[in-house]
Amino acid sequence: MNQRGLLPRLLLIGDRFTDPGVASKILEAVKCGVRWVQLRDHDADTNTFLTAANSLVESLRAVRPDLLISINARIAVAEKLQCAVHLQFSGPPVDSARTRIPDGLPVGISVHTFSEIDHLTSDYLIWSPVFESRSKPGQEGTGLDALSQASELAFPIPVIAMGGITPDTVNDCLASNVHGVAVLSGIIAAKDIHLAVGSYLEAVQPKVTANG
């Protein structure tokens, strides 16, 4: 399934969404125009994750019924809540995950090296980190040249760039032939979420030239 052109160009990574404060910021971001959210919490136990996801998904769908919601790693939760799923490269096979979620919803995967791109069957992939990020200080980014090469190797699978991306660097990422960008602290940690979301949404819009 080729999702290029169907996926929103801005993905909000709702890390530690089980924290009510983070959940409220995710909800606010969706109210401000975010159309794709990934719910992630690597440290939460199964019951905590499911309970928090169930509550937040219900609230998010009440605000935006067409919102694309991806669940990070927890396939059983994605299946129960009828959501998309995002996998780690070392996780379950893509084809196995796809059989457990509704038809038409994307299965994504995170990759960090060129060799991991070979033979992927996911509907999109997240390449990270492009730049050093606030969420992982000290981890050096791979840079734009590597991002461009990853996009070329992955084609026709859409690539989502992630890691330290600001509204000012979105255009450089898009110029590397990626489909869109994933953002975590750039929105969740923003003092003004409405302004932050607006800045990212404007940045990811395809630029129209004078020649059309």
Per-residue pLDDT of the chain (212 residues; tens, 9 = 90+): 445 458 999 999 999 999 999 999 999 999 999 999 999 999 999 999 999 999 999 999 999 999 999 999 999 999 999 999 999 998 899 999 999 999 999 999 999 999 999 989 999 999 999 998 776 667 788 999 999 999 999 999 999 999 999 999 999 999 999 999 999 999 999 999 999 999 999 999 977 655 55
CATH number at residue 38: 3.20.20.70
Q: Is residue 131 part of a domain?
A: yes
Measure the CA–CA gap between 194 and 49, rounded to whole angstroms: 27
- Residue 138 inside a domain? The answer is yes
Q: Please, which residues have CB within 8 angstroms of residue 18's CB and are 6 or more apart in sequence?
A: 41, 44, 48, 49, 52
57, exposed or middle or buried, with CB in 10 Å at 0-12, 13-18, 19+?
A: buried
- The count of domains in the chain is 1
Which range of residues forms the domain containing residue 107? 10-204
Query: Rounded to two decimals, what is the model's pTM?
Result: 0.94
Element (H, E) at 125: strand 124-127
